């Protein structure tokens, strides 16, 4: 039971980190309205890549959440690394395009 609880807690934490990223991107995306057409196109392309990675992560987490607890122990570090990588991508995107 403890493993299932750890898994649920861990998945919840990862989902919250993803949701926080989605909210940050949504707020920043609204500022793209003020950029030049070329800036908007470049930023939108980069944003689409990040959003696709977030969607993929949500799907993978949902699938992992339904899976066997023992399997979770083997893949949770991979999820942590992936979310960390997406957080880095979002930070870079915001540095590059934030406040256009």
Domain that holds residue 59: 2-97
Confidence of residue 26 (pLDDT cuts 50, 70, 90): confident
Instruction: Reply yes or no on whether the pLDDT at 94 is more than 60.
Output: yes
Query: 69-97 and 37-66 helices cross at what angle (nearest 10)?
Result: 170
The whole-angstrom separation of Cα 68 and Cα 74 is 11
Mean model confidence pLDDT for the chain = 85
Buried residues in 10-20 as b, exposed as e (16+ CB within 10 A): bbeebbebbee
Give the total number of structural domains in the chain. Answer: 1
Tell me the pLDDT tens digit for each residue of 1-20: 446 668 889 999 999 999 99
């Amino acid at each position: 039971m403890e493993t299932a609880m750890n898994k649920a807690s861990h998945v919840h934490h990862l989902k919250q980190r993803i949701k926080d990223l989605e909210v940050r991107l949504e707020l920043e995306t609204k500022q793209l309205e003020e950029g030049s057409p070329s800036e908007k196109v470049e930023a939108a392309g980069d944003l689409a890549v990040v959003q696709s990675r977030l969607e993929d992560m949500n799907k993978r987490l949902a699938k992992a959440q339904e899976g066997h607890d023992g399997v979770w122990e083997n893949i949770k570090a991979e999820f942590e690394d992936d979310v960390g990588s997406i957080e880095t991508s979002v930070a870079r995107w915001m540095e590059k395009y934030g406040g256009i």
